[in-house]
Structure 1
Amino acid sequence: MPNAAERPRRIRVQRDGPLIVEGPVEVVGEDGEVTVSHRFTVAVCTCRRSQIYPWCDTSHRRRRDRRSGPPGGEAG
C-alpha cells in the first residue's frame, strides 16, 4: 500500500493501551508478514496479549496488575 497521505498519519499513544492509528494502515511484523486494515481508525496492540494481534482486542484490560489499583481506575 503506497503512502499517498497528504498529511502525516496521526497516532495516539495511550498509557497501558493500544496505539490508535488513523487508517488505512499496513503493519509489518517481525517475520515480515504484512497485515492490512482499510478502516478509518485502528487500534494496534502493544501488549501482545491480543488474540487478533497485531490488532487490539482489549486483552490488556483483563490482565491488570493488582498493585495498580481497581480495573476501572484508569483508561486503557
Structure 2
Amino acid sequence: MIKTKKEYSNGVVTVVYESDLCIHSGVCSKGLPDVFQPGTRPWVKAKGAGTEEIIKQVQKCPSRALSFYMNSPDREDGEKGPVKAIEAGHKVEVFKDGPIMMEGPITLVGSDGQRKVVANACYFCRCGASKSKPFCDGSHKDIGFKE
C-alpha cells in the first residue's frame, strides 16, 4: 500500500490522515459525518464541526490512521506536529493536591516486571508518602501535600 499522509485544518486544529494505517472501519464518518466524508474530495471537511468535536472523534479512530495537532505554536509539550490520538475510554486526571487518576482498562507493569490488568480506575501517589506505592492511600491529606 502506498503511504500517504494528508492534513486538513480548521485553523485551530489540524487533522492528520495516514492512509496506510486506515482499516476503513467507518468510525469517523459514522460519528461525525459533517467532517468525515469518504468518497468526496477532500474527504475531511475540517470546518464541518467544532474543534472539540473533531478532536473527540479523531481520538476514537481504532487504527490511529487519524491523529491531530493544535495549530498554536504554544503546545503544552513544546513540540510541533501531530499528537497521536489516544485510545477511546482512557483518561489521566491530576487531582489538585492529590493523586493522579488513570482510567482503564490499562496494563500496569510493576518494577518487578509483574503485569496487572486494571479494569476501571486507579489512583497513583504523587506525594511520596503512600504506604502502598505506586497507589495512593490518602496520605497526601495527612502530610498536607500541596502542588
Count of residues paired in the alignment: 62
5+ residue gaps in structure 2?
A: 1-61, 63-85
Please report the TM-score for the alignment, with normalisation by the length of structure 2: 0.34
SS in 1 for 2:141: helix
Larger Rg: 2
How many percent of aligned residue pairs carry the same amino acid? 29
Q: CA deviation at 1:25?
A: 2.7
Deviation at 1:13, TM superposition (A): 1.1
- The answer to whether residue 135 in structure 2 is matched with residue 55 in structure 1 is yes
- Residues 38-65 of structure 1: per-residue CA shift (max 9 Å, x gap): 2411111111111110010000000117
The structure with more helix, counted as a fraction of residues: 2
Equivalent-residue separation in structure 1 for 2:128 and 2:122 (angstroms)? 15
Distance in 2, matches of 1:38 and 1:25, equals: 5
The answer for the alignment partner of 2:121 in structure 1 is: 41
Corresponding residue for residue 23 of structure 1 = 104
**Residues 49 and 37 of structure 1, relative CA distance in 2, 3 Å threshold:** farther
**1:74 alignment partner in structure 2:** none
User: Which structure ranks higher in relative contact order (CA pairs < 8 Å, sequence separation ≥ 6)?
Assistant: 1
Give CA deviations for 1:15-52 in whole Å, capped at 9, x if unaligned: 110011102334456x5755634241111111111111
Which runs of no fewer than 5 residues in structure 1 stay unpaired? 69-76
Structure 2 distance, partners of 1:16, 1:35, is 28
